Amino acid sequence: MPEDFYKTLDVSRGASAEEIQKAYRKLAKKYHPDVNPDDKKAQERFKEIQNAYDVLGDSEKRTKYDQFGHGYEQMGGGPQGGWRHAGGGPGGGQEFDFSDIFGGGGGGFGGGGAGDGGGFSDIFRQFTGGGGRRRSAPIRGADLHHEVTVPFKTAVEGGEVMLSVRRGNSVETISAQIPAGIEDGKKVRLRGQGEPGPGGGPAGDILITVHVDGHRCFIRNGKNLEVKVPITLEEAALGGKIDVPTPHGTITLTIPPNSSSGKRLRIRGQGVKPKTGDPGDLYAELQIKMPAELDEKAQELVRQLGELYTESPRKDLAW
């Protein structure tokens, strides 16, 4: 016995047209011959799925299928052969011909002739929605999913990546633009570059999930960037101007006198600059960098500097 088309698509009999289409796309993507080139069972399953959708995806065919089951195609022979229906009455098993009721010669319902234009064929056309076979809407091709890891610099500034895409039995290399400011885990959509649609339908899309590598010096926090900037003991004590690299070029940063390690300086607008919206800021955290070794003269100078402390720098340190 043929499998129930509703079971084939794993939907209920009361499913909407959108639910049927969604179920078909999901199953077609899973069992498509291009995805399973060497799997005969999958290919047979795809044919069953396609056959079920050809019927349930067409409102006219679905109406007939719901009424007559898999014999629906034999129930639409037209006025000459007549529609025949088995059993319906209490006696069961008795057949009757619809054309006998409405006039076997195509006459009118009220006994009029064929020229009256009101015969069984007109009633049949009303029942089937106008008599013309409605064509199913073109089926969109499946989406392809890819993942790519880009450098921190590319995620902030934007750029181009190359990826290999398999369509059917062929593999091709395509380029994709990474928008400036994209965050880790976000997706880029390449419209119309997915699987071609069955029967000439529109192609699906390629969805690229973007992962971002870390950076040796910079950390990202939303649209803001953070960087630790080493400075000398002299620059910390006396202040000065230093050069700091940013995604938008090198800037000159002013160090205030008497700056301690951990002091954060905010540089507005030098963070991530997305395609739309305001840019983020850059936060520079100062870190005093001591020489690897100090000679006796340098050590003596540091001791003299230490004598200038009038109170312990750890006076507020507590548990």
pLDDT in tens, 128-154: 444 445 556 788 888 899 999 999 999
Q: What is the pLDDT of residue 135?
A: 59
Q: What is the pLDDT of residues 150-167, one digit of tens each?
A: 999 999 999 999 988 887
Please check whether the two domains, 5-127 and 144-212, share a CATH topology.
no
CA dist 247 and 99 (Å) reads: 81
pLDDT at 245 over 70: yes
pLDDT bin (cut points 50, 70, 90) of residue 112 is very low
Q: What number is the average pLDDT over the span 286-312?
A: 91
pLDDT at 256 over 80: yes
Domain spans of the chain, in order of start: 5-127, 144-212, 218-306
pLDDT at 82 over 60: no
164 and 173 in contact (C-beta within 8 Å)?
yes
Supply the pTM of this predicted model: 0.54
Amino acid identity of residue 292, one-letter, is: A
Among 125-129, 226-230, 257-261, 296-300, the least confident range: 125-129
pLDDT at 285 over 90: yes
Q: What number is the average pLDDT over the span 92-115?
A: 41
Say how many C-beta atoms besides its own lie within 10 A of residue 231's C-beta: 21
pLDDT bin (cut points 50, 70, 90) of residue 196 is confident
The CATH class given to the 218-306 domain equals: mainly beta
CATH of 144-212 given 3.50.50.60, 3.20.20.140, 3.10.580.10, 2.60.260.20: 2.60.260.20
pLDDT at 123 over 90: no
197 and 215 in contact (C-beta within 8 Å)?
no
pLDDT bin (cut points 50, 70, 90) of residue 78 is very low
pLDDT at 116 over 50: no
With pLDDT > 90 as the criterion, what percentage of the chain qualifies? 44
Question: pLDDT higher for 51 or 34?
Answer: 51
Q: What is the pLDDT of residue 74?
A: 64
Q: What is the pLDDT of residue 187?
A: 94
Dihedral angle, C-alpha 54, 56, 61, 63, nearest 10 °:
180
The CATH class given to the 5-127 domain equals: mainly alpha
pLDDT at 102 over 60: no
Q: What is the pLDDT of residue 105?
A: 44
pLDDT at 51 over 90: no
Q: Which long-range contacts (CB under 8 A, 24 or more apart) does 239-244 make?
A: 244/284
CA-wise closest residue to 19 among 56, 62, 47: 56
Q: What are phi and psi of 89, to 5 degrees?
A: -90, 175
Cα→Cα distances 65→50, 69, 159, 298, 307, Å: 15, 5, 53, 96, 98
